[in-house]
Amino acid sequence: MIQNGYLIFEDESFLDSTVAKMNALRKNGQFCDVRLQVCGHELMAHRAVLACCSPYLFEIFNSDIESHGVSHVTFEDLDPEAVEILLNYAYTAQLKADKELVKEVYSAAKRFKMERVKQICGDYLLSKLDSQNAISFRNFASSMGDARFLSQVDAFIQDHLLDVSEQEDFLKLPRLKLEVMLEDNLTLPSNGKLYSKVLNWVQRSLWENGDQLERLMEEVQTLYYSPDHKLVDGGLVIEGHSEVFGGEEDHLQFVQKKPVRESDQRQMSCSSSGSLSPSNQAANAPKQTARREWKYIASEKTANNNYLCLAVLDGVLCVIFLHGRNSPQTSPSATPCLMKSLSFEAQPEELEEQPLSPMHYARSGLGTAALNGKFIAAGGYNREECLRTVECYDPKEDRWTFIAPMRTPRARFQMAVLMGQLYVIGGSNGHSDELSSGEKYDPRTDEWTQVPELRTNRCNAGVCSLNNKLYVVGGSDPCGQKGLKNCDAFDPVAKTWTNCASLNIRRHQAAVCELDGFMYAIGGAESWNCLNTVERYNPENNTWTLIAPMNVARRGAAVAVHAGKLFVVGGFDGTHALRCVEMYDPARNDWKMLGSMTSSRSNAGVAMLGDTIYAVGGFDGNEFLNTVEVYNPETDEWYDCAKAPSPLSD
């Protein structure tokens, strides 16, 4: 074909033919310049081909760039068949692995940093996840340091704990048996907060008292659960002391004040066999070097005052049995037995004491939204880093689980639902002040994909969906010192950004939402001066109009829409994190103060589920929060426990 003076010919069979010939040359050892020694087996290949598909081998070859002979790379801990499968993939782009070899291929792909292969193998293993293999899969995911894989296995175990507990792998796990003495008429709460206190007690026993985990499991340990919900060492109570372990605010206090950083998850050296050997060194290790995993995974009430829990203690996957008894004079006769026929519903007196389940991570500056009846909390930051993880709350189960993490760590952003998908735009990744990137989440595939970037980097901007478009309002300038007036709209069909009318007042950290076909920008700050002003956008004439101001100036507030009114929650007034809440009635164009939250929260997230407003995370002025509370409009009250009369529409 002649085109623009050039002869153009496309040979569609050339690439396939060349690839097949190169792989044949590899197998025949022809023109090969690298030897992989894998557990006594020698595999020949071409350095350039491997460098193109394996960043790990590229680094090795690049450091040996002056070598003109044959490179030798030795692996003593990989499966030769798995490496051969990866070599075939490198030459043919076809991955063909026997199902019994998928774990070995995953391990080799992890070493070679072949992320696509690792993801494909992980997805295959997750598709085969069931009650019989859940424990072995968790041990494998833990040994690989794969946070995404691990979170999905843990979510499965949470949903199927009793079925998992009947399997042979589960029955072989180390067991910690605890007897918890109770005051008369007091019952143990069947929620994760109790086990957080138990983890604190175990940590203290290991690092402050010098005990070993094996020793703790040799006999039944006696603890005391006080009427004010503290967990106390039973021996100290009997001797007349009252030292308290695991108070309400000191979750995992003996290792770290906050949950483990996401960047540390890949470095945790968790046991893959259930052996107790890791704790031998941990008992005498300095506190600041203890970085193994401590985690509550799941629990069930199995009988009256009998509880079963699966947790990771100092990197060791363990079963914890709890038996509550009212009489300190008697002792347990046997380990509690599982009784699937019994009801696992909490009793009314327990519900009054049961806090709503907290998120796995404390987060401030997070993005939140309601999607398919669930509460989605994404990203945010704690004192040390911006987060990628995304958690999903099911109000019917009172349970948080992980969904696919975002592609980019980000905080100081807002999230909106558009055409059944979640959108996040801009924010900060903790390294640069602002991001121009955006991404969207498809709940059908559990995947995040990129969307076209903003024309300017934007942090602390408001995000809202309106008339099948996504709007980004205000935000911080590149220096982070002034608010912006900019307003941009994204068309998800055309995949293009367009400019809209500018705000009347510069704003960053404003709360933005849609109500009755209008978009509202609420409060925020011009520079660091908090605003009580509010403006409304009319898409029909592309104009912003100032409306009645709030009673309280605030930035970093959250907003929800209920029954045709706006509910603005918390924020920061320039001096303090706020508990106060106010409501805007567009028919009256006025604001009314409502009942305050149980906690002060700035840069928190809110969403409507049914007829209930949920508030999560944020910063209370001292601590980053992972707690949840709900608002009942009928009673004008906030609750942080399950006794809240929170009607949910089906």
pLDDT-derived band at 376, boundaries 50, 70, 90: very high
- What is the pLDDT averaged over residues 55-80? 78
**pLDDT above 90 coverage of the chain, percent:** 46
pLDDT-derived band at 648, boundaries 50, 70, 90: very low
pLDDT-derived band at 67, boundaries 50, 70, 90: low
Q: Which pLDDT belongs to residue 561? A: 96
pLDDT-derived band at 276, boundaries 50, 70, 90: very low
Q: Tens of pLDDT along 572-606?
A: 998 899 999 999 999 999 999 999 999 999 999 99
**SS3 at position 448:** strand
> What secondary structure, in 3-state letters, does 586-629 show?
CCCCEEEEECCCCCCCECCEEEEECCEEEEECCECCCCECCCEE
pLDDT at 413 over 90: yes
Q: Structure pTM?
A: 0.51
If we measure between CA atoms, which residue out of 531, 525, 547 comes closest to residue 591?
547
pLDDT at 511 over 80: yes
- What is the pLDDT averaged over residues 160-170? 90
If we measure between CA atoms, which residue out of 330, 336, 328 comes closest to residue 306?
336
The count of residues in the chain is: 650
Q: How does 397-419 read in b/e, with b if 16+ C-beta sit within 10 Å? A: ebbbbbbbbbebbbbbbbbbbbe
- What is the pLDDT averaged over residues 379-408? 90
**pLDDT above 70 coverage of the chain, percent:** 79
- Is domain 15-128 classified as CATH 3.30.70.120? no
Q: How far is CA 267 from its chain centroid?
A: 17
| CA–CA gap between residue 519 and residue 497 (Å, rounded) | 18
- What is the pLDDT averaged over residues 102-129? 93
Q: Provide the edge-to-edge strand list for the sheet that holds 367-371.
A: 367-371, 374-378, 390-394, 399-403
pLDDT at 397 over 70: yes
pLDDT at 284 over 80: no
- What is the pLDDT averaged over residues 93-103? 92
- What is the pLDDT averaged over residues 57-68? 71
Which stretch of 236-245, 567-576, 616-625, 632-641 has the lowest confidence by average pLDDT?
236-245
Identify the sign of the CA torsion 524, 525, 526, 530: positive
- What is the pLDDT averaged over residues 469-478? 89
Question: Greatest CA separation found in the chain?
Answer: 99
pLDDT at 363 over 70: yes
Identify the sign of the CA torsion 189, 191, 193, 197: positive
pLDDT at 264 over 70: no
Domain residue ranges in the chain: 15-128, 168-326+343-351, 367-464+546-639
Q: How far is CA 21 from its chain centroid?
A: 46
Output the six-digit token pair for 621. 């002025």
Q: Which pLDDT belongs to residue 529? A: 87
Which stretch of 53-57, 62-66, 147-151 has the lowest confidence by average pLDDT?
62-66
Beta carbons within 8 Å of 499's beta carbon, 6+ residues apart? 486, 487, 488, 489
Query: CB of 380 within 8 A of CB of 427?
Result: no
- What is the pLDDT averaged over residues 120-148? 91
**SS3 at position 524:** coil
- What is the pLDDT averaged over residues 498-516? 96
Output the six-digit token pair for 324. 């509550």
Q: Tens of pLDDT along 329-360?
A: 433 333 333 333 222 333 333 334 578 999 99
> What secondary structure, in 3-state letters, does 213-267 show?
HHHHCCCCEEEEECCCCCEEEHHHHHCCCCCEECCCCCCCCCCCCCCCCHHHHCC
Q: Which pLDDT belongs to residue 179? A: 84
Q: How many CB atoms lie within 10 A of CB 178?
A: 22
pLDDT-derived band at 196, boundaries 50, 70, 90: confident
Q: How many CB atoms lie within 10 A of CB 72?
A: 12
Q: Tens of pLDDT along 525-557?
A: 998 789 999 999 999 999 999 999 999 999 999
Which stretch of 269-278, 438-447, 478-487 has the lowest confidence by average pLDDT?
269-278
Residue type at position 306: N
Beta carbons within 8 Å of 285's beta carbon, 6+ residues apart? 207
pLDDT at 373 over 90: yes
Q: How many CB atoms lie within 10 A of CB 614?
A: 23
Output the six-digit token pair for 220. 């039944």
